[in-house]
Amino acid sequence: MFKIVQMISPGIVKTINDHLNEVIEPQLTMDVSSYANSRMRAWLQYEAPLSISQPWKSAIKDDRIWSYVTKIGEKHGFIPDIGLVSKGGAIREHRDAFYCNFLSMGINLGECTWTYRNCYPEYKWTPNQNDNAEQEIYHLTGGEVFLFNAKNPHSVSRASEDRWAINLWTVSKKGMSGFNEIKEATQ
Ligand SMILES: [Fe+2]
């Protein structure tokens, strides 16, 4: 289920975008995932590997952004472990990799079209997934905080060049040993 749980006011969206443009923009690097090859992004707290054989890495620790997004998450019962900030760029339909749990949070800070297919009807795995779930299309304008199942197919298109987005995850059981190792190693 794709569910908008909060709208951030335009004034606050501008404050966040100003901070991202000033502090995070210089730290952006090109996305290495095959489904987002033109997108610029930066990981928050720790960088998750896309396959289980690759290492976790340390990432940007920005207290201002991290405490803000954690506070938003807490309001909706979601305490993130890691995040990814991205600017512009389309993302082809994909499901998020092994490192995260099903329930995810997104914070959209600009204009884009977000699509989603509700194959898993809940925020968890189920044996009777509906592979033919219809595509849902959401035209987002900026300020939307939403929950969705990251293992359901989702994509972003028509993102404006200056559109920032923050994705937040909790680390899955499969990702936990690598996540704990990198946390310990960089403490
Ligand atoms: Fe994703």
- How does pLDDT run across 101-114, given as a tens digit for each residue? 999 999 999 999 99
Cα 113 off chain centre by: 15
| Residue 74 belongs to domain with CATH number | 2.60.120.590
> What pLDDT, on the 0 to 100 scale, is given for residue 65?
97
Half-sphere exposure for 12 (CA within 13 Å, toward CB):
13
Report the separation in Å between the CA atom of 72 and the middle of ligand 1, taken as the mean of its atom positions.
Answer: 19
Å from CA of 92 to ligand 1 middle: 9
pLDDT at 149 over 80: yes
CA of 1 to the centre of ligand 1 (A): 14
Q: Which of 96, 94, 107 is nearest to 147 (CA)?
A: 107
- Ligand 1 centre to CA of 153 (Å) is 8
Please say if the pLDDT value at position 74 is more than 80: yes
Domain limits at 158?
3-185
Total domain count for the chain? 1
Going by C-alpha positions, the residue among 130, 131, 169 that lies closest to residue 147 is 169
End-to-end CA distance of the chain: 36
How much distance in Å is there from the Cα of 15 to the middle of ligand 1? 25
Q: State in Å: Cα 80 to ligand 1 middle.
A: 15
Cβ partners under 8 Å of residue 81, min gap 6: 45, 46, 169, 170, 171, 179
- The one-letter code for the residue type at 34 is S
pLDDT for 183 equals 96
For residue 168, report the distance from its CA to the centre of ligand 1, in Å: 10
Cα of 96 vs centre of ligand 1, distance in Å, is 5
Confidence of residue 36 (pLDDT cuts 50, 70, 90): confident
**pLDDT at res. 128:** 86
Q: How many residues are given for the chain?
A: 187
pLDDT > 80? residue 37: no
Going from the Cα of 150 to the center of ligand 1, the distance in angstroms, rounded, reads 6
Q: What's the pTM?
A: 0.95
CA distance 21 to 139: 23
Mean residue pLDDT of the chain comes to 95
Distance 167 CA to ligand 1 centre (A): 8
- Rounded to the nearest angstrom, the distance between the alpha carbon of 89 and the centre of ligand 1 is 13
Confidence of residue 89 (pLDDT cuts 50, 70, 90): confident
Confidence of residue 32 (pLDDT cuts 50, 70, 90): confident
DSSP state of 134: P
Using 50, 70 and 90 to split pLDDT, how confident is the model at 33?
A: confident
Average pLDDT over residues 176-186: 95
* Residue 18 or residue 127, greater confidence: 18
Judging by beta carbons within 10 Å of its beta carbon (0-12, 13-18, 19+), is residue 38 exposed, middle or buried? exposed
User: Does residue 46 carry a pLDDT above 90?
Assistant: yes
